[in-house]
Structure 1
Amino acid sequence: MVISLTSTSRLLLLVIFVLESDAADLIRSACTQRTDSKAVAIGRLPPTCDASTAGNLYYSTSSKRLTLCDGFSFTNIGSLHTTFEPGSYQNPLVSCSSLHESKAQSGTYWMKPTTKVFIKPFQIYCDFKVRSNGCALVWKHSYYQVTPNNNMRTFSTFNKPCIDLSDGWCNVANKDTIEGSEQVTAAYHHGTVVYAYRGDRNPQLGKASLWRGAILNNPIKITDYCTSHNGVAPEPEVGSHAIPGISFDKANPGEYTLNCDTDHYASSPPDDCRWQNCKLPSHISSASFNTQMTVAIYLC
């Protein structure tokens, strides 16, 4: 596809802005010194560079390189890959796992998943501790530190960036755009991991009103410091004491309406039964009962 320069001035200005300064100077020089510059072509280079294609700029969507034909030969102008760090706004990640080979450090990055639906780059927390291949934080809720509402549910479409593991809550609205075949549910006490379990990705995660999307299919323990029910994977709760899509339980597998490890929102402490089914060791908390927790869901 070839577009005239008059209709692509904004595109050229954007390309100049995002390339390295030396490359940008070369483009400016090429554009100002050659009055016969004609077009920007998106796609493959022609077989040869000659007088008929002199002044044309060619942009490769696969390599992200910009090439100029000067009438005799092709000149590489620059590459977006060499300009911006992976995970920056200008060079967002496709997934957290795509960062694994180059910079496997937990932190906040910009992401733009590969999807047919246009999505602007957004910030997300990539964790390389719960799973070494990299996991994307897509939901988080700190119990008894925030007042639960519909926006906080795991199946909510409300977007609040998941950028860290601090106390509070977050939610990625378009969970179905995040790559990964595994799902991880983990609990923290003020930043210290209490347990983490992984399972097959639940296709219902993030879909409206389907709280069962938070259930781990074929769960496997990664780590568990609970002194009771160690090895039992957490499950979402929907009983009268619980808030569907927010409350979790770590006892009596398959019983979704009888327990209340988290957010017994029908009463206030000390009657609140948060985490009574997961007694904590002293190195995590001096109070084994009713201890504040943050539960997080990842896609890996």
Structure 2
Amino acid sequence: MEQIKMGLIILLVAVTSVLCEGQAKELVDLYKRQTATPPSETCDSSSEGTSTGASGDMIWVCRSSTWTPFRLTPAVGSSRTMSGSSCKRIKEQLTGACSEPLSSGMYWVQGTQIYCDMDELDGGGWTLAWQHSYTENYPLTNKMTYFSNDFQACTTRASGWCNIPNKARFSATEQMIVAYHEGTVVYAYKGLFNRNIDFNWSGAILLDPVKIVDRCTQEVGIQPAPENKIAVGFTFDKWTPYNYKANCDTYRGTYPRPNDCRWENCKLPSSISSKADHVQMTVAIFMR
């Protein structure tokens, strides 16, 4: 019986694009049938697998020379009432139901709209939990730190700051630090989930770090690490990752207006920026 259900999903995906349009906002519910007037078009062996497309919340598919109705239901992550538990879980539930890959963007997660990286880094399924665009959010306050209990919706990856408190609620096993310049990924490293992320600066230390991508021109292969001396809760070093007090690649100084040291460790390549440092920089922390 389970094989038949999966076969029907594959068939419906193959015959109609409405099931996988955009970010796969609708799925077929194979358990709900509705008495309705079937299409007037002929349904025979020559039209097997064809569809009338969606009409309201219904779709008709020609199966075994009979028009068979299916009800469309909202997909997980498409609304508050259909919230997923995490971006990873949404990706797992939607992948396989659609022939098109999921797109990164806004999804409903635990009752809140959150940005999900579904297709860009390390297979996707990443929940954006913190973000800061350096020198663009002065004056700094404690509520902006990655271990803050203050909520600021993570709705875009472009710029600004955001924070989702109680990050352990996503039941993550991994976390990732990504640095962007004007929306372009410069470096990304992942590690095991660090439960201190909800409590203090050390939560941004990547445990068993793994490089995903690194386009820096110096200190290549060195993972970003948090600083415990300057602008704690914001600053990262990409030079001496196990020192935690030696250098900086983001801010230098103290609250509320630390000095600019963006990209000083990394040095941007000319293919990304005409200047190697002291230009736009956003760092984000993701959970999966």
TM exceeds 0.5? yes
**Out of 228, 233, 236, which is 1:248 matched to?**
236
Matched residue type, 1:238 = N
Give the equivalent residue in structure 1 for 2:105: 107
The answer to whether residue 121 in structure 2 is matched with residue 130 in structure 1 is yes
> What is the CA–CA distance in structure 2 between the aligned matches of 1:267 and 1:245, rounded to whole Å?
11
State the SS of the aligned residue for 1:90. Answer: helix
Shift of residue 99 of structure 1? 2.4
Match of 1:43 in 2: none
Q: Is residue 216 from structure 1 mapped to residue 206 from structure 2 by the alignment?
A: yes
SS at match of 1:298: strand
* Distance in structure 1 (CA, Å) of the matches to 2:260 and 2:136: 13
Letter in 1 for 2:108: W
Q: CA deviation at 1:95?
A: 1.5
- Assess if the C-alpha contact under 8 Å between 2:141 and 2:255 holds in 1: no
- Aligned match of 1:192: 184
Matched, 1:84 2:84: no
Unaligned 5+ segments in structure 1 are 1-19, 27-77, 113-120
Matching residue's letter, 2:205: I
Of residues 171, 176, 196, the one that matches 1:204 is 196
Q: Distance in 2 between matches of 1:126 and 1:91?
A: 15
Question: For 1:291 and 1:224, how far apart are their aligned partners in 2?
Answer: 18
Structure 2 match to 1:292: 280
Task: Compute the displacement of 1:133 (Å).
Answer: 4.1
Alpha carbons 2:231, 2:254 under 8 Å: kept:
no
Q: Report % sequence identity.
A: 42
Give the AA of the match of 2:222: V
Aligned ranges for residues 11-160 of structure 1 at < 5 Å? Answer: 82-87=72-77, 88-100=79-91, 101=95, 102=97, 104-112=102-110, 121-128=111-118, 129-147=120-138, 148-160=140-152
Q: How many residues align?
A: 212
* 1:183 maps to amino acid: Q
Per the alignment, residue 257 of structure 1 pairs with 245
1:84–1:90 CA contact under 8 A, matched in 2: no
TM-score normalised to the size of structure 2? 0.68
User: 1:104–1:134: 8 Å Cα contact kept in structure 2?
Assistant: no
Query: What is the rounded CA distance, in whole Å, between the counterparts of 1:177 and 1:130 in structure 2?
Result: 22
Bigger radius of gyration: 1
Where does structure 1 differ by over 2 angstroms across 4 or more consecutive aligned residues? 265-269, 271-274
Q: Which residue of 1 aligns with 2:227?
A: 237
CA RMSD between the two structures: 2.4
Q: Which runs of 5+ in 2 are unaligned?
A: 1-28, 36-69
**What is the aligned partner in structure 2 of residue 228 from structure 1?**
218
